[in-house]
């Protein structure tokens, strides 16, 4: 029995090593990956819909700038989160937690759990905190594979759409005419979160992944000769020398004024308190960024120190600024319809609907949402594309409304693991490329896909 267990572990490690090797060798830079996806959907749209080449280019250009606001939000998630975490106060907290970790495998387990719980609370918060925490661990724990560490932090993002900030269940709970339009009339009344987020099925999937994913991450830990450590010197931001107050010009005295930072912080915190008193624990990207920004201003103490922290953080946002418009263009092609109302996203969703039965419908909807997510990597955008197809079809088959919706939600979250779009903030903080972590994320995608499918079949 013991030999059989060792053999299985050995085969798993070999499979993991193979996936890591393939991804590192053949996965190009995320921008090239984005360009290849653009070519694929362009050709697919021309061949499978009635749109001509110029029509597809128009769809592409129409969508190109549709994510500008979201791109700015995501860039600020990275920049404000990174700047906040680089303050002495926050560094001391993370450093203290990291110092208590004993051994590389324990580090992988803890960062996986912390990231997943944070993402279940709020995906924007978790996406940044996981990567920052992992980076701090790398400074303290020796003998740890930095690639797997960052990958483990990113895998927490898998659970976001089944958590408190999941956009699909929150949209269902809002009800109204907008929801009826989004679902082609299939949903006319609000669906409470007790039927979505807190349903037995969703809790089974969510809790199961909170246990399984960290254990799989630990199981993927490479052998000693395959570990890739990071030079700890690369993890520290440069320290800016401070001028003596007496030698400062009037302008420099204002830049280094604690009063200015304090007054800004008071204004910011006043609104944050007001927000939570009036809206409860309803987090969105704007309030998360607002909290990150004013906590950062307060913790750094002076405007100059905060500006220096932001300057360092901005370096990691290049991928977001360049690639998000191209993904928006891909979304434009995927959703751009011909004269008959056909689009690639509609055709893909209809294919899975047509081969489904009442029992298999949620699983096929989950898989179709995972595939669409490659080309429409936005939860709101994907819901707009698939809800008018999946929701009425599920209703016609007798599948509960909430279950059909959660199939879209989990599909959207599932393939984020191998979609560089969402990994960019974490990679920007860590200073890695997508190919460094995607081999490990591929294993999580396979394991989680099987488990989530079982969850839909059991309930």
pLDDT digits (tens, 9 = 90+) for 324-345: 888 889 888 988 888 788 888 8
The mean pLDDT of the chain is 86
Is a pLDDT exceeding 80 seen at residue 384?
no
Q: What is the value of pTM for the model shown?
A: 0.82
16 in any annotated domain:
no
Residues 445 and 426: their CA atoms lie apart, in Å, by 18
Q: Please compute the mean of the pLDDT values over residues 239-252 and round it to a whole number.
A: 73
Query: Rounded to whole angstroms, how far apart are CA atoms 357 and 171?
Result: 26
Over 70: is that where the pLDDT of 242 sits? Answer: no
Is 215 inside a domain boundary?
yes
| Both tokens assigned to 236 | 């520290």
Residue 5: per-residue pLDDT: 61
Would you state the pLDDT for residue 70? 76
Does residue 14 lie in a domain region?
Answer: no
Mean pLDDT of 296-318: 88
Within a domain: 353:
yes
Residue 31: the pLDDT is 85
Rounded Cα distance, 86 and 88, in Å: 6
Whether the CB-CB separation of 412 and 168 falls below 8 Å is answered with: yes
Q: Give which of 352, 407, 418, 356 is closest to 382, Cα–Cα.
A: 407
Three-state SS sequence of the chain: CHHHHHHHHHHHHHHHHHHHHHHHHHCCCHHHHHHHHHHHHHHHHHHHCCCCHHHHHHHHHHHHCCCHHHHHHHHHHHHHHHHHHCCHHHHHHHHHHHHCCCCHHHHHHHHHHHHHHHHHHCHHHHHHHHHHHHHHHHHHCCCCCHHHHHHHHHHHHHHHHHCCCCHHHHHHHHCHHHHHHHCCCCCCCCCCCCCCCCCHHHHHHHHHHHHHHHHHHHHCCCCHHHCCCCCHHHHCCCCCCCCCHHHCCHHHHHHCCHHHHHHHHHHHHHHHHHHHHHHCCCCCHHHHHHHHHHHHHHHHCCHHHHHHHHHHHHHHHHHHHHHHHHHHHHHHHHHCCCCCCCCHHHHHHHHHHHCCCCCCHHHHHHHHHHHHHHHCCCHHHHHHHHHHHHHHHHHHHCCCHHHHHHHHHHHHHHHHHHCHHHHHHHHHHHCCCHHHHHHHHHHHHHHHHHHHHHHHHHC
What's the CA gap between 79 and 281, in Å, rounded?
23
Q: How many residues does the chain have?
A: 459
Tell whether 55 is covered by a domain.
no
46: exposed, middle or buried (C-beta count within 10 Å: 0-12, 13-18, 19+)?
middle
Confidence of residue 453 (pLDDT cuts 50, 70, 90): very high
Which pair of tokens denotes residue 247?
Answer: 């030698």
Residues 349-362 have pLDDT tens digits of 888 888 889 999 99
Q: Is residue 326 part of a domain?
A: yes
Q: What is the CA radius of gyration of the chain?
A: 23
Of 450, 457, 459, 458, nearest to 360 by C-alpha is: 457
Q: Is residue 57 part of a domain?
A: no
Range from 80-84, 145-149, 219-223, 422-426 carrying the lowest mean pLDDT: 422-426
What domain count does the chain have?
1
Tell me the two tokens of residue 97.
Answer: 């937690």
pLDDT at 4: 61
Per the domain annotation, does 405 fall within a domain?
A: yes
Q: Which two tokens stand for residue 241?
A: 């020398």
Is 300 within 8 Å of 12 (Cβ atoms)? Answer: no
**444 has a pLDDT exceeding 90:** yes
Domain residues for the domain of 90 are 68-236+249-458
Greater model confidence, 413 or 68: 413
Burial class (CB in 10 A: 0-12, 13-18, 19+), 386: buried
């Amino acid at each position: 029995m013991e030999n059989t267990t060792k053999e299985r572990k050995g085969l798993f490690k070999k499979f993991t090593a193979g996936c890591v090797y393939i991804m590192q060798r053949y996965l190009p830079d995320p921008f090239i990956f984005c360009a290849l996806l653009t070519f694929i959907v362009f050709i697919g749209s021309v061949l499978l819909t009635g749109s001509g080449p110029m029509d597809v280019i128009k769809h592409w250009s129409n969508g190109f700038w549709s994510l500008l606001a979201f791109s700015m939000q995501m860039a600020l998630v990275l920049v404000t989160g990174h700047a906040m975490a680089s303050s002495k106060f926050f560094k001391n907290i993370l450093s203290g937690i990291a110092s208590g970790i004993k051994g590389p495998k324990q580090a992988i387990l803890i960062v996986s759990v912390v990231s997943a719980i944070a993402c279940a609370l709020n995906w924007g918060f978790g996406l940044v905190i996981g990567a920052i925490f992992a980076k701090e661990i790398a400074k303290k724990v020796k003998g740890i594979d930095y690639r797997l560490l960052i990958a483990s932090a990113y895998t927490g993002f898998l659970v976001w759409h089944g958590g408190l900030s999941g956009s699909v269940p929150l949209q269902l709970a809002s009800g109204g005419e907008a929801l009826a339009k989004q679902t082609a009339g299939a949903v006319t009344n609000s669906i409470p979160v007790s039927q979505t987020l807190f349903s037995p099925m969703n809790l089974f999937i969510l809790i199961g992944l909170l246990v399984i994913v960290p254990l799989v991450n630990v199981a993927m830990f490479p052998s000693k000769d395959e570990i890739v450590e990071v030079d700890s010197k690369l993890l520290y931001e440069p320290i800016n020398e401070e001028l003596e107050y007496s030698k400062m010009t009037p302008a420099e005295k204002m830049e280094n004024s604690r009063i200015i930072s304090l007054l800004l912080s008071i204004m910011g915190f006043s609104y944050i308190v007001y927000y939570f008193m009036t809206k409860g624990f309803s987090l969105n990207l704007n309030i998360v960024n607002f909290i990150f920004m004013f906590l950062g201003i307060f913790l750094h103490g002076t405007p100059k120190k905060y500006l220096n922290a932001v300057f360092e953080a901005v370096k990691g946002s290049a991928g977001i600024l360049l690639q998000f418009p191209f993904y928006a263009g891909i979304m434009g092609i995927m959703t751009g319809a011909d004269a008959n109302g056909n689009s690639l996203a509609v055709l893909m969703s209809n294919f899975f609907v047509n081969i489904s039965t009442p029992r298999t419908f949620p699983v096929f909807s989950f898989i179709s949402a995972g595939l669409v997510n490659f080309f429409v990597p936005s939860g709101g955008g994907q819901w707009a594309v698939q809800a008018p197809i999946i929701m009425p079809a599920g209703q016609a088959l007798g599948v509960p409304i909430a279950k059909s919706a959660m199939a879209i939600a989990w599909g959207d979250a599932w393939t984020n693991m191998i979609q560089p779009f969402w990994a960019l903030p974490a990679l920007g903080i860590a200073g890695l490329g997508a190919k460094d972590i995607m081999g490990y994320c591929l294993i999580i995608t396979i394991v989680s896909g099987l488990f989530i499918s079982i969850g839909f079949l059991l309930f």
